[in-house]
Chains A and B, each alone.
Chain A
Amino acid sequence: MTARPIAFFTIDHGTATTAAAIIGQLDGRFRLLAAGAQPAGISADGLLAGLVAEVAAIEPDVLPDPTTWSDWRRLESATHRPPRALVAAASEAGLGAAEAAVAAAGWRVVGRISPERTDALAATERCLDPDVELLVVATADPVPAEERDALADLVALVAAALGRRDDEPTLVLAGGAAGVMQRFPAARVVLGPAPLPHPHAGADPLRDLLVALDQALIAGAGGPAAGFPDGRRALVTATASLAAVLDRRVELVDVGATAGLRVLVGPGGVRGAIVSAEGALTPPDVIEDDRRADGVLQWSTIRADAASMRDRVRNLAIAPWRDAAGDGARLRLAAARAALARLDAAWRLPDDAEDRPASYGTDLLVASGGAFAVAPAPAVALALVDTLRRPGGMTLAHDHARVLAPIGGLADEADRRRLLADLLGDVLAPLGSAIVAAGLHAGRHRGTVRITSEDGADMRIELVPGGVQLVDLPPGVAATAELTTRDGLWLGVRAHHFALPVAGGLGGLVVDTREIPLRLPERPERRRDLLDAWQRPLWAGADT
C-alpha cells in the first residue's frame, strides 16, 4: 500500500495582495507545486481551490485527496500597515537621529516636533491627534546642557497634551528624556536608550525596542494580520536561515504596498535590517504631495503628460493590484525602482570589526514583495542593479511565490532550514547574476569580459563604459566571468584582472559599468529615453 502524499499551503497575507502556494513532497523532498496571488480582501479559499484544481488537472498523484484541501495545513504570515508615530526632540539634530530609529523600526513618522521647527499650537495639535499611536521624546544621554531648557518646555507641552487624551498612546522616553518620566502616568511610559548619534541599520537598542512595540501593537490590535507571524519580521528570519543554508552573505529587499524591508545577513548573523514606510511601492503621502509622485515618475519610461502620470501613481497607491499589464506594469516597476532607491537612501551599515569600513557586498540578492510580481525577470534584475548600486558581483533571485515569509514564520530553525534546502530551486526564481564595475575609462583599450561556463561555452565581449550589457547565461548554468582591463576597474578593490563566479538565470548576466550612484539626466525626455534604452532590451514583449 502506498502512503498518501502530503501537501500544505503557504499563504502570505499582504496589505494589497495575498499570495498562496502549494508545497508537496515528491521523492522525499518538498517541492513547490503551484502558486498564485489575488487582491487582499477576498477570501483565500477561491485562490487555494484554484491552485489545487490546477495541480490536480496535471499531476493528481502528487496531492492528497484533492477534495480535502480545506483541511490541509497552512503556513501563514501577514503584514500590516505601519502604525503612526510622532517624534519629538529638544533639538533638530536630536530629532533626526530619533526619527531615523523610529522610521527604520517600521513606524510611519507622521509628525516631528522640535523647538526650531514647531510652535506650541502645532505641536499640541500633533500630540492630540487620535491617529498617533506612539510618541517618542528623545535626547542624548545625558541631556546636553544646551538642550535642558528646551527639553523641560517640550515635556510640559507633551504632558499637557497627553493628559487630555482619553485613549492611551504609548510614550517612549529615550535617552536623557527618561529622567522626566515622573511627569507621565507610569502605565503609559516606556523608557528607552538614546538614539544612535549616527543611525545605521546594524544593532540599535532603541530601534529594537520600537520594533517590539510595533509587534505588541499588532498582536493587540486584532484584524486580519493578527494571529499570524509578522511577514516582514519573518522575512528577516527566513533570510538568516537562507544564509545559513547557503553559507553565503544574503541580502533581501521586499517592496510591499505599505512598507519596504531590507536585510543583509553575513557569517556573523544579521548585519543590518530596516523596515520602512518610505520603502513602500508608493510613498506614504503621494496622494497629497505632487513631489512624491514625481519621485516615482523620474524612473518611468512612459511618455505621457505629467499630470495624468501623477494620477496614475496615485491610483497605484489606492489599488496596487489593478492595471498590472501594459503601461501599468512599466509604471509599477518604476515605482518599485523609486522604492528601492528610498530604501537605499536609508541604508547605512555599522563599521566592521576593528573600525574597518562596512562591507555592503552580498553573494545573493533576493527580491520579494508584490512590486515585482508582474515584470519580466530581466527587467527586475536591472531594477535591482539600477538602485542598489555597489561594485562587485552577485547572484539575483526572486521570491516569486512569496514563500519565504511563511517559512520564516516557523518557530523552529531546523524546520526552516530543511524546507529552504528542499525548496531553494523552486521558490527562488533565478534572475541571473550582475557584475557592477566602476571606473572603466573610455578609449581604445576598454577591456573585455570572458565568460567560461561549466557546459563548455566560452564567450568574450568588449566592455562598454557607462553601459549595461546582457550576456545570455541560462538558468542552472554556473560560469566564471573574467574581467580584464588595461587601466583597471573598481569592484570593491581596484585591479586589472578579476575572476568572479556567476550563475545563469532568466535575465542572464548583467554587466554594468555605469556610475555609482547612477546619475540620470535632469531633463525628463532625456532621462526617459535613457531609462528606456537600458530597459527595453530586457523587457520581452515591451511593445505589445
Chain B
Amino acid sequence: MPVSAGADAGARVVGAVGPVVEPRVRLRLGAGDVPLVAIGQRVAAGDPVAERRRDGAVAWARLGGSAAPEPGTAVEAGVPVAGRGRRAVRFAGSGRVLYTTPSGLLRVAVGRHAEQVGTPTAGVVESVGPAAIVIRADGIGLPGTLTAGEATVGRLVVAVRRPDDELPVAAVDVGAAGAILVAGARIDVEALTRARAMGVRGVIVGGVVGRDLRSFAASEARQRAALHTSPPFALLVLDGFGKRPIPPGAWAALVAAEGRDVGISADPSFALLDVAAAVAAEPRDRVRVAAGEGLGRIGRLLEVVGRRRLPAGVLGPVARVALEAGGPGQPPEERLVPLADLERTGP
C-alpha cells in the first residue's frame, strides 16, 4: 500500500450523503388509525394508504361478560365490537381496540373525524404494522436533515436561480398552488406561511432558522387541529440550521427533476424523485465548504497540507483548495480550509 498522505486527498474528506436508491419510507400511524393497503400492493404517489382518526381520545365500555375483542381490532361507529343484542358494546366514534383491563373494561382509541393519508411516492407496500406503513419507493431519495410537517407530493418548481439564493415572500403566489418549491439557502416563516396559504404542498431548502421552524411547527399544529384541515404540507431541510446553500449534488438532482412530481417524506427525511438519471458522478477532488468561512463555496481539493494553527489558537489538519467564483465579491481563489469543514460533493 502506498504511504503517501496525499495520494488520494479526497479520501481524507467526508463525502456528501448520496441519494438512496429505492428508499424505504415510513408513514406513521396512530393507535386509532386504519391502514387501507396490504403488503405487496403497488401504490401511486398521492394514493390514500391509511385513514387517520383525528382528535383521538380513549373511550371505554364495560364488557359485562362478553368476549373481549383482540387488541387492534377496527371499531366502526355504532357497530357492535363485542356482545350481542342489548349487551352489544358500541362506540360513537371509529377507531381501534387498545386493550381490556383486568376488571373487564374495554378501552378503545377513537377519533371524531377521519381523513385520508396519502403516500408521497409511488412504490410497493413492504409492511403494514400497527404503528407504521413502510413503502419501498420507486426512484431515489435525496436525504435531508429534517422534515417538518407531513409527507406530501407535488410538482417540483425550482423557485430560485442559485442554491445560495433566498426565496422572497413576494415571489410566492397562487401560481405555485400544488407545487413543491425549491427555495434555496433559507426560507423565513413569513414566506412559509404564505406558501401554505397559497396551496403550496411543500418547500425544500438548504437551511432554516430554528426560530422560524418553531413558529411553523406551531402553525402546522393549529392547522391540524382545525375542523377542516388543508392538504398536507412539508418543509424539507437538506443541510442544517441557519442559511445554508443547497449542496451541489442535491441541487443538480432537483434542477433535473423540475416539472416532475416529487415527494417529501418525514420518516426518514427524503426528497423523493422518480428518476435516478439526474444524479451525475462527481470527481473525488470536488469539494464544498460545509462550515465556517466561505460556507457553500465549491472548489477543487489540491492537497492536504497537514496541521496548521487555526483561529482561536486551535491546531488542525487543513487542505489547500482552489475555490471557484462564488457570488458577488467572491472571485476564484486558493485558500487553506480546515479539512473537517470540507465535504466532497459526491458520495
Chain B residues within 8 Å of A52, by CB: 3
Min CB–CB distance A335 → chain B (angstroms): 15
User: In chain A, residues 443-502, which have Cβ atoms closer than 8 Å to a Cβ of chain B?
Assistant: none
Closest to A153 in B: B101
A50 touching B304, Cβ below 8 Å: yes
Cβ-based interface call for B145 (8 A):
yes
Min CB–CB distance B317 → chain A (angstroms): 7
User: In chain B, residues 1-52, which have Cβ atoms closer than 8 Å to a Cβ of chain A?
Assistant: 1-5, 7-8, 11-15, 26, 30-32
Chain A residues within 8 Å of B149, by CB: none
Cβ-based interface call for A324 (8 A):
yes
Min CB–CB distance B80 → chain A (angstroms): 20
Cβ-based interface call for A326 (8 A):
yes
Cβ-based interface call for B131 (8 A):
yes
Cβ-based interface call for B58 (8 A):
yes
Cβ-based interface call for A179 (8 A):
no
Which candidate, B83-91, B197-205, B305-313, is the interface stretch facing chain A?
B305-313
Q: Which of B32, B101, B210, B304 contacts A307 (CB 8 A)?
A: B210
Min CB–CB distance B108 → chain A (angstroms): 9
Cβ-based interface call for A327 (8 A):
yes
User: In chain A, residues 156-206, which have Cβ atoms closer than 8 Å to a Cβ of chain B?
Assistant: 156-157, 159-161, 163-166
Q: Interface size of B by Cβ–Cβ distance < 8 Å?
A: 60
Q: List 27 A-B contacts (CB under 8 A).
A: A36-B317, A38-B339, A39-B340, A41-B14, A47-B12, A49-B7, A52-B3, A67-B1, A125-B31, A163-B71, A164-B130, A310-B241, A312-B241, A312-B242, A315-B240, A315-B241, A318-B240, A322-B341, A324-B314, A325-B311, A326-B311, A328-B292, A329-B314, A374-B314, A374-B316, A544-B311, A544-B313
User: In chain A, residues 45-77, which have Cβ atoms closer than 8 Å to a Cβ of chain B?
Assistant: 45-47, 49-50, 52-54, 56, 66-70
Min CB–CB distance B233 → chain A (angstroms): 19
Which candidate, A2-10, A116-124, A216-224, A262-270, is the interface stretch facing chain B?
A116-124
Min CB–CB distance A191 → chain B (angstroms): 21
Q: Which of B11, B71, B132 contacts A160 (CB 8 A)?
A: B71
Known: A56-B3, A307-B210. A325 touches B316 (CB 8 A): yes
Known: A47-B12, A56-B3, A164-B71. A325 touches B310 (CB 8 A): yes
A70 to B1, alpha carbons, bound, how many Å?
A: 7
A124 touching B109, Cβ below 8 Å: yes
Cβ-based interface call for B263 (8 A):
no
Cβ-based interface call for B158 (8 A):
no
B292 touching A326, Cβ below 8 Å: yes
Q: Which of B99, B100, B241, B292 contacts A124 (CB 8 A)?
A: B99
A160 touching B14, Cβ below 8 Å: no
Consensus secondary structure, chain B interface: mixed
Chain B residues within 8 Å of A67, by CB: 1-3
A429 to B20, alpha carbons, bound, how many Å?
A: 43
A435 to B325, alpha carbons, bound, how many Å?
A: 54
A315 touching B99, Cβ below 8 Å: no
Q: Which of A165, A310, A324 contacts B340 (CB 8 A)?
A: A324
A157 touching B210, Cβ below 8 Å: no
Closest to B293 in A: A326
Consensus secondary structure, chain A interface: helix
Q: Interface size of A by Cβ–Cβ distance < 8 Å?
A: 69
Min CB–CB distance A188 → chain B (angstroms): 16
Cβ-based interface call for B98 (8 A):
yes
A156 touching B314, Cβ below 8 Å: no
Q: Which of B7, B102, B291 contacts A152 (CB 8 A)?
A: B102
Cβ-based interface call for B177 (8 A):
no
A542 to B311, alpha carbons, bound, how many Å?
A: 8
* Residues of A near any B CB (own CB < 8 A): 36, 38-39, 41-43, 45-47, 49-50, 52-54, 56, 66-70, 119-121, 124-125, 128-130, 152-153, 156-157, 159-161, 163-166, 287, 290, 293, 307-308, 310-312, 314-315, 318-319, 321-330, 374-376, 539-542, 544
B340 touching A322, Cβ below 8 Å: yes
B314 touching A315, Cβ below 8 Å: no
Min CB–CB distance B127 → chain A (angstroms): 8
A49 to B5, alpha carbons, bound, how many Å?
A: 6
B72 touching A164, Cβ below 8 Å: yes
Q: Which of B57, B107, B130, B311 contacts A128 (CB 8 A)?
A: B130
A75 to B194, alpha carbons, bound, how many Å?
A: 56
Chain A residues within 8 Å of B7, by CB: 49
Cβ-based interface call for B117 (8 A):
no
B4 touching A49, Cβ below 8 Å: yes
